[in-house]
Amino acid sequence: MDWVTGLVPGGKENYNACLIIVDRFSKSMRCLSCHQEDTAMDTALLFWNNIISTCGVPKIIISDRDPKFTSEFWTSLYDMLGTKLAFSTACYP
């Protein structure tokens, strides 16, 4: 999952970014039109409406450490799923 930003605004909604999602098993790709200014909640709703509602909840999501994905995105998404999210740490005392 990654972003393509800085696109020329287009369409009725003047989208200027795409959220790219690739299924590692089937190698299929989805390009979801969005706005670069979208909040984490907007991104979670986009993910819910276009991925989870059609394909189900993925077991693994691989993404870079974009602040939208590492903070509010996950809490917004898992709030919608009714699941608690817990982050693990790299080092244990």
What is the total count of domains within the chain? Answer: 1
Q: How far apart are the first and last CA of the chain?
A: 32
pLDDT band for position 92 (50/70/90)?
very low
10 Å Cβ neighbour count for 33? 15
Q: Is 7 part of a structural domain of the chain? A: yes
Q: Is 88 part of a structural domain of the chain? A: no
Q: What is the CATH number of the domain that holds 48?
A: 3.30.420.10
Write phi, then psi, for 10 (nearest 5 degrees): -155, 165
Q: What gap in Å lies between CA 51 and CA 10, rounded to an integer?
A: 23
Q: What gap in Å lies between CA 68 and CA 7, rounded to an integer?
A: 19
Are 48 and 77 a contacting pair, CB within 8 Å? yes
The CA-atom distances, in angstroms, between 92 and each of 86, 88, 89 are 15, 9, 7
pLDDT digits (tens, 9 = 90+) for 5-60: 999 999 899 999 999 988 878 889 999 999 999 988 888 889 889 988 888 877 77
